[in-house]
Structure 1
Amino acid sequence: MNLSRSREKTWRTAAAAVLLSAAALTAVTPGEARAGTERTETPVASTSPVAGVTESLVRVKVPLPASAGARPAACDWLSYLRYRASDGPAASADADRILVAQPGILEGAGAFDSVARNTVARAAEQGSHIEFWALDRRSNCLEDRTGIASGDQHAAVDYYYRGKQVQGRTFAGYVTNDRLGWMARLGIEQTVRDQYDLLAAELPDQRLRKQKVLCGGHSLGGVITGYFAAADFDGDRTTKADAGFNQCAGYFALDTTVSTSLADLSGSIPDDTNLPDLGLGYLGTQAGLDTGVLPRSLSAPVLLNPETMTLLAIAGMGAVADPDREADLPDYLPAGVNIDATNRFLFSKDTATFLSGSPSVKDFRLTNAAVLGALMDDQSVPLAFLQSSVGFFDGGPVVDKNFPAANGSEEQPGLFGTEYKAIPDRPDGPLYTWRNYDRVGDADDPGYRSADGTPFTGAGKEVTDIRELARSLAQQPLDFTEQYFPTKLVSDIQFATSPQVKRLVVHPEGLTANPTLTVLAGDGLLAGRVPPELNAVIADGYQHLDVLTAAPEQNDGRPEPVSTHLGRFARNPV
C-alpha cells in the first residue's frame, strides 16, 4: 500500500494551514520539573502522517556561569522537542521509557522529527508509551526562525537576505565571531553538563532516571553520549549516583558509536572547515578561542555556514507548499559570494562547469521538490554527512556529476559518499521533477544510468520521503541544522589525549556499564568499519541522515528498521 500517494492531497492542504507553535511561549505548571525551575512548554502542530504522536517545544532556564561572559538572554535556556504518545501519560516521569538524543555536527533538534515520531508510534504498537526528547545544543539560541516561520518562501528570502521585515521584526544579521566570546568555553564539558542539568531539572529523581532514561544520539551525538556516560557531575569520583552512566538505563547510537573518539566519524567534518590546526595544542587553541583569533563557530565557505544553511530550510518551504510547482528560488535569491559559490559547487557537472559558472542552476527548470533533492539527495549533494535517500531526478535527461569527484573513481574520498552522482543535462529545457523515494522502481521509472552503465539508484536505495524531509526542515520550531556549531566542542574531542580533556573521563567503565543499541546506515559513514562485537543493526540502503529521516513504511513494504529497533530497545534494553 502506498500511503504517501493516498495522503498527498490532504497533506498539501493541511501543510498550508499548519502553525509551528503557539504565537508566544506560555508558562505551564512544571509538574515533574524541579521546584522553582523556570520552564515553558508549547504545543507544536504538525502535518506528519504518523498518527498518535504529540509534540511540544520545551524550554528550561539553566543559566551559564557568570564566567561565560556576556551572551543573549535566550542562551541561558536549554531547549528540546518532546515527542510522546498522544494517549500516554502527560508527565514524562510516568512514561515507560524516555529516549534523550544528542544531535550530530551542524545538526539541530528538528533533524530528529521523523525518527522520533516513528519510534514513539512503533513503541505504542508494541504496547509501550515512551517519550523521545530531541535536544538542541545551547548555541542554537542564536538562530532566528522568524522568516522560516512565516511559511512564505519569498518573505523568508526577503527577511534573511534583503533586510525586509516579517511580523514587524527585522533580521539582525548573522552573528559574527566578535560577538561569540561566550562560546569560547562551550566544549564537551559544558555540553554534557547541560544534558545532566536538563535531566535533573525535568526528572529530579535520580533513581527514576536510572530506570527510565535511554541516552544516545546521532553522529557526534554518540561521542557526546560517551563523554556523558564517563562524566562525574558532583566533583567527587567516589560518589557515583551523579555519574553519567547512572542517569541512563541504556545507550543508543545512530550511525555512530558510544565512545570518546572521533575516529569512527571519518567524513563527518569537511576538510575545508575552519577547525583550528591541531599543531597549536589544547592550550594554544583555547587561547585562540578566548581571544577571538580563532573562529568560535565551525563553518566552511560552501554550504556550511549560517547564511547558506538557512537555504536548506527555505528550499524545504517550497517543497512543503507545492512540491510539483516550478521553482523560482534560484532566481529569487540575491547574488552573494556564499550563495553563488554554494550553487556553483552543488550544481556543476564537471570542473570546467564549476570554473566557468555556466550553465548554472538558474539555467535549468526545476520543481520545488527537485531543488530540495539537489541539495540533500545522495545522488546529488557531494557531502556524505548531508546525504539522504529521497528519490531521484525525473522529467528529462540526466548525466554523470563528476565534480568534485568522478563517478566510479577509486580516488573518491569518503567525504563525498560512495553513490554515483547525477545532474540534469538540459539547460533551458524540460521541467525537471522529482521522483519520490516510493516511486523509484515503478513501471514508469526511466531507470537512469551512468555513462558506464551503472544504475544511479534503485528501490532498495531510497528510504526517505522528500515531503517529510521538507517538513522537518521548514516546519519545526527548532532548526534541522545548527548554524553556530561551537568549534571548541570538536577541538576538545580532537585533543582527547590532552590532560585537560582526559580529566573529564572520570568513570571510563561507564561506557560499557549499560546495554547499548547501535544502528548503522548501510551506506553511511561507518559502513563496514564497526567491530562485529558491537552487534550493530544495519539499515540497508540508508545514508548518514536517513537513520533520522526515513519514512515509517519503506517502499518494499517493510517497517522502518531504525525506529522498530529503537522501540524494541526502549521496551526491553538488553
Structure 2
Amino acid sequence: MSVSRTLVAAALVCAGLALPATASAERSELPASTPAGPFADVIKSVVTIDAPLPEEVGPVPAACQQLRYLRYRRDGGPADPQQADAVLVIMPGTLAGAGSLEMHALQVVQNAADRGRSVEYWALDRRGNCIEDRTGLDAGLAANDPKIALDYYYRGLQVGGRTFGGIQKTGQLGYVADFDLRQVTEDYRAVITEGLPDPEFRRSRTFCGGHSLGGALTGLLMAWDFDNDPATRDDAGYDLCAGSIALDSSVALTPETAAAGAGAQIAKAIVGQTVRSVRNAVAANIIPRTFDFGVIGPETMLLLEGIGLNAQLNPDTDAAPLVAATPPTPAVDGAMRLLQSRTWQDAVARTPRLRRQHLSGEALLGAFMDDNSQPLSFIKTSIGSYTGGALLPKVFPFTDGPLMFYPVEDAKPYGWAGHLEPQSTARRGDGRLYTTAASEVTDPQDLARVLHGAPLDFLEQYYSTMLTVDSVLAGAGSRDGDFARLRYTDAALGKPRLSVIAGDGLGQAKQPAGVPGVPSVVEVLPGYDHVDVITASPRQSSGQPERSAKATTDFVLDHTGRDPGPTPAADEAAASDPEVAAAVAQLDMR
C-alpha cells in the first residue's frame, strides 16, 4: 500500500538523528504548575533527555542537544509511567510546540482520573523549540506587565543580565536543516523508548498521535523501519504504539487520506522537483531553512505570544498603547495587514488600520485568532465575538467563504465576549443587520495562557522547513534516501485508530476503513475549528464534557491492553525486490 499523494497538502497546511535513547540516557524532570480550574488530579512536569546530534551536524546550541516534553499524570498515581493504565505520546502540528496540547492533555488525564484510572499524556517539543528566547515573556508574566516583554525584545531592556540577541535569520541556522523527517522520527522514538523501555508496554498500552501535521508524522513513525533491514522486523515503528490518535488529521498513509487544500499548489510545485534538489535547496537556504516568510515567521509568532500574554494579564484594557509601542517592522505590519484588514484598500494603506483601533486585550487576541476574524483555517479558533461597536464584513484577503467581521469605528473601544453559550448575535453595519450563530468552544483565557505558556509554549518560532519538505516528498511516494525506511505504510491501519475531526477544520472527515476487525473510531465535532480540537474548554455550552478530550479518553481506556494484532505488510515498492519479497514471505506478515 503506497503513501497517499494527498498527504502533501495536509503536510503543508497543518502546519532532530539522535543516538538511540535508552533507560540510561541522562534525564531530568522538573515540576511545573497547572492552571486553576477542574484539574485537581493532574500534575505536570518538564522532562529533558540528553540526545546528542551526530558530529557532522556541526556546532549547535547546547539546548538543541536535548529532547523535551511536558508530562501530565494523575496526582497520586504511579510515578513509573509503565505502571499507568496507558501513556499517550502526542506530537504537535506545524509551527506548534508542546504547550499547544496543554488543554487537551489536562482534560484527558483528569477524565481518566474521574474514572479511577491513571493515564499519562506526553506532549512533545521538537528540537526547533531549542532556539527560542523566552526571557522577555517569562519576565513580563512574573511582573504582570506585558510591556517588559515588549521592551526586552525591541528596546534592549536587560532582564537578569541578559539582552535579546534579535530574531535569528534563517541564514544563521544551518543546523536547522538537519531537523528533518528522519531526525524528528528518531526523536519521537527516542522519547518513547527512553521513558517506556518495556516493549510489551509499548505494544499494548502506549498510544501515539498528533494534531494536524503531528498525526501525519505519527503515521510515518509507525511506517518507519529503524534498523533499515527489510529482512527483519526487530525495530519497526509500529511496535512503539498500541494504537494511534489523529486530532484533525490522519495517520493513514493511503490514497483515501483527505487533503487540506490551502497548500495544494505549493505542494504540487515541490513534488515536481527531485528529492535531492529540493533538500539541497533547503540546506543552502535557497528555500528558507526555517518557516520565515515575513508575515508568518519567528517575529510574528513571537508577536502572537505577546498578544496572548497581554490578553491574559489585561483582558479588558485597551491594547492600543501596546500596539502603538510595537515597532512597525515589515513582519509586524505585514501580519497586521494580512490578518487584520477589512478590504484591499486597508491592506495597502500607509498605516495598518489595526494601529488606529482601540481593542481590549482579548479583542486583540480575537482579531488574530477567532474564526470571525482570522481567514487562515489552520490558525482559527472559536473564542467569542467583538462587543461595543459596529462591525462590517471582511472581504480581504478572500472575497468569498465564511462571513467574517471587522470593527470599523476607530475611535470607539471594542471589547470581547468570550461566551460559551449558543446564541444568535446581531451585528449592525453599512445599513444592514448581520446575524451570526455562535457556540464558542475555546475560552479566550485558556488560549491566551497556553500561547505564551511556560515552560514550553504554543508555537515553534523556528520551525524547520525541511520537515515539511520531507513530509511532502514522502507523502508523495518518494522512497529515495532515508525514505526507503518507510516499509510499513499500512501499519497504522492494522491497529486501533481514533480520528477526531473538527467540523469547521481542515476537511478530513473521510478516513480509510482499515483492516476488518481492527477498531477505527471517527468523532466529528460540529462547530469546532482546527485549533479548537486541542484548546477547547472543559465547560461546553451543551453542559456536556468537551468532546475531543472525552473521545480520546474513551478510546484509550477502551483499547488499553488489546492484542496488538497482525504485523503490517512491508511496503509494496520494497517487497517488489525479489530478495526482499522472499524475506518478507518468511515472516508472519499479512
Structures share fold, TM-score greater than 0.5: yes
Shift of 1:147: 0.9
Distance 1:271 1:35 in 2: 44
The amino acid across from 1:508 in the alignment is T
Shift of 1:528: 5.0
Distance 2:545 2:429 in 1: 31
Shift of 1:261: 7.3
- Partner residue in 2 for 1:264: 258
Tell me if the contact between 2:91 and 2:215 (Cα under 8 Å) persists in the aligned partners.
Answer: yes
- Partner residue in 2 for 1:447: 426
Distance 1:270 1:84 in 2: 39
CA gap of 1:121–1:245, structure 2 versus 1, over 3 A, is same
- Partner residue in 2 for 1:507: 488
- Show the 5 A alignment for 1:522-541: 522-526=503-507, 528-530=509-511, 535-541=521-527
Distance 2:419 2:90 in 1: 26
Tell me if the contact between 1:384 and 1:525 (Cα under 8 Å) persists in the aligned partners.
Answer: yes
Tell me if the contact between 1:225 and 1:259 (Cα under 8 Å) persists in the aligned partners.
Answer: no
Distance 2:362 2:500 in 1: 29
- Partner residue in 2 for 1:565: 551
Q: What's the % identity of the aligned pairs?
A: 37
Shift of 1:425: 1.5
Distance 2:454 2:261 in 1: 27
Q: Secondary structure at the match of 1:503?
A: helix
- Asked if residue 479 in structure 1 is aligned to residue 457 in structure 2, the reply is yes
Q: What TM-score results when the alignment is normalised by the length of structure 1?
A: 0.86
**Which segment drifts farther, 192-201 or 537-546?**
192-201
Give the unaligned 5+ runs of structure 2: 1-20, 515-519, 563-590
Distance 1:268 1:67 in 2: 36
Distance 1:221 1:449 in 2: 41
Shift of 1:446: 4.9
Q: Secondary structure at the match of 2:363?
A: helix
| Counterpart selection for 1:546 from 511, 516, 532 | 532
Shift of 1:115: 0.5
- Partner residue in 2 for 1:7: none
Distance 2:284 2:314 in 1: 47
The amino acid across from 2:403 in the alignment is Y
- Show the 5 A alignment for 1:181-200: 181-200=174-193
- Show the 5 A alignment for 1:38-77: 38-51=26-39, 52-77=41-66
| Counterpart selection for 2:374 from 359, 381, 384 | 381
Q: What TM-score results when the alignment is normalised by the length of structure 2?
A: 0.84
The amino acid across from 1:448 in the alignment is R
Tell me if the contact between 1:107 and 1:481 (Cα under 8 Å) persists in the aligned partners.
Answer: yes
- Show the 5 A alignment for 1:9-408: 34-51=22-39, 52-150=41-139, 151=141, 152-260=145-253, 264-267=258-261, 269=263, 277-302=270-295, 304-327=296-319, 328-357=321-350, 360-406=353-399
Q: Secondary structure at the match of 1:405?
A: coil
Q: Secondary structure at the match of 1:297?
A: coil
The amino acid across from 2:456 in the alignment is L
- Partner residue in 1 for 2:414: 432
Shift of 1:135: 0.4
Q: How many residues align?
A: 524
CA gap of 1:449–1:525, structure 2 versus 1, over 3 A, is farther
The amino acid across from 2:86 in the alignment is R
Distance 1:358 1:138 in 2: 37
Deviations 1:108-157 (A, max 9, x none): 11100100001111111222110111101111111111111111311111
CA gap of 1:96–1:77, structure 2 versus 1, over 3 A, is same
Distance 1:493 1:212 in 2: 27
**Which segment drifts farther, 446-455 or 362-371?**
446-455
